Amino acid sequence: MTKIPNILLIYTGGTIGMVKEHKTNVLKAFNFNNIKEKIPELNLLDCIIQTVSFKEPIDSSNMSPKYWVKIAEIIENHYDEIDGFVILSGTDTMSYTASALSFMFENLNKPVIFTGSQLPIGDLRTDAKENLITAIQIAATRDGDLPKIGEVCLYFEYKLYRANRTTKISAEQFEAFNSPNFPELGESGVHLNFNNRVLKKVNKNKKLVVRKNFEASIVILKLFPGISEQVVKSILEIENLQGVVLETYGGGNAPTLNWFLNLIQKAIDKNIFIVNVSQCISGSVLLGHYETSSKLKQMGIVDGKDITTESAVAKLIYLIGENIPQKEFKVLFETSLRGEMN
């Protein structure tokens, strides 16, 4: 007899869990213990749904590594008896959080699906119901005796993405996310269709390892025409700075001015990890392809390839937390650990 999957719904906060009070029109957090009363369609799903909510739901703008660890620990504590996890969070920082979770879980062999909504769950035109129902259905999908998905994903507006490949592209459209450098893992239409070619293979023989050292002092430094020496210097000389996500132009290009290159070299000499990522939504860093990136390559700057800024932030914090030696750090960052880069 086929076992009915147990799915744990984790509500951290965000628009999807908000309902309007009829008298005041004020949004307040929804009680997810009553989720089937609000969305009776969930009773039609062939799975058992359990729920757990943050005691104090947080807006995604307040998301931070301490909450990443909290989410990871909820999953870790329920991992043996639960078959799949659906995490509800605010959309503004969802790609950061979902990317972080992908690095925190080593040897993951169960689905962890992030979703949310652009409109509250009680709104007449809400996208919350479809996103939530399908995310749960995906988490419950089996391939024989194994789950169909064995990685951290993000589901939104009929598309299933690898979480650490996503970026939020719209604050107003229901199609709020995109995966610019990697194909969708699946699509919801009349049927759930999975892109088996790019799905990670589930390996039940490896034991889950949860990495929780997710505290690091890092910054994102976005270049722009006319950026001054004073600005770059003040950022790179932040006390106890450990890492920088350097958002460069196009294929990894940056100013060739002596003061800029000297400041970058000085930071690298102080064992500050600097990762070169492109400001472009799609495409890859190609270090050394143009003269404007050849100096950075010679310095030994980390090549972010086609990683998103959100994933670069999460991976940088993860590797710093693991105390990776300077010589190994560059090689590890430039290696795909969770499918985050080509």
Q: Select which of 12, 15, 91, 134 is catalytic.
A: 15
Does 88 have pLDDT greater than 90? Answer: yes
Mean pLDDT of 155-175: 97
Does 17 have pLDDT greater than 60? Answer: yes
**DSSP code of 234?**
H
Give the domains, in start order, of the chain with CATH numbers.
6-210 (3.40.50.1170), 218-333 (3.40.50.40)
Q: What are phi and psi of 34, to 5 degrees?
A: -105, 25
Mean pLDDT of 209-237: 97
**How many H-runs (helices) and E-runs (strands) does the chain carry?**
9, 20
Task: Name, in order, each residue with C-beta under 8 angstroms of 283's C-beta and a sequence gap of 6 or more.
Answer: 180, 181, 250, 251, 306
**DSSP code of 220?**
E
Q: Return the minimum-mean-pLDDT range out of 27-31, 38-42, 85-89, 90-94.
A: 27-31
The DSSP bridge pattern shows strands 218-222 and 209-210 to be unpaired
Per the CB < 8 A criterion, the answer to whether 174 and 126 are in contact is no
Q: pLDDT > 90: what percent of the chain?
A: 82
Q: pLDDT-derived band of residue 204, with 50, 70 and 90 as boundaries?
A: confident
Rounded Cα gap, residues 103 and 109, in angstroms? 13
pTM (global) more than 0.85:
yes
Rounded Cα gap, residues 116 and 284, in angstroms? 28
- Would you call 15 a catalytic residue per the annotation? yes
Mean pLDDT of 306-324: 97
Q: Return the minimum-mean-pLDDT range out of 198-202, 225-229, 273-277.
A: 198-202
Q: pLDDT-derived band of residue 326, with 50, 70 and 90 as boundaries?
A: confident
- Mean predicted lDDT score pLDDT of the chain: 94
Does 265 have pLDDT greater than 90? Answer: yes
User: What pLDDT was estimated at residue 36?
Assistant: 80
Rounded Cα gap, residues 223 and 244, in angstroms? 12
User: What pLDDT was estimated at residue 295?
Assistant: 92
Does 339 have pLDDT greater than 80? Answer: yes
Q: What are phi and psi of 183, to 5 degrees?
A: -65, 160
Rounded Cα gap, residues 168 and 72, in angstroms? 22
Q: Return the minimum-mean-pLDDT range out of 69-73, 111-115, 126-130, 289-293.
A: 289-293
User: What pLDDT was estimated at residue 75?
Assistant: 98
User: What pLDDT was estimated at residue 150?
Assistant: 97
Q: pLDDT > 70: what percent of the chain?
A: 99
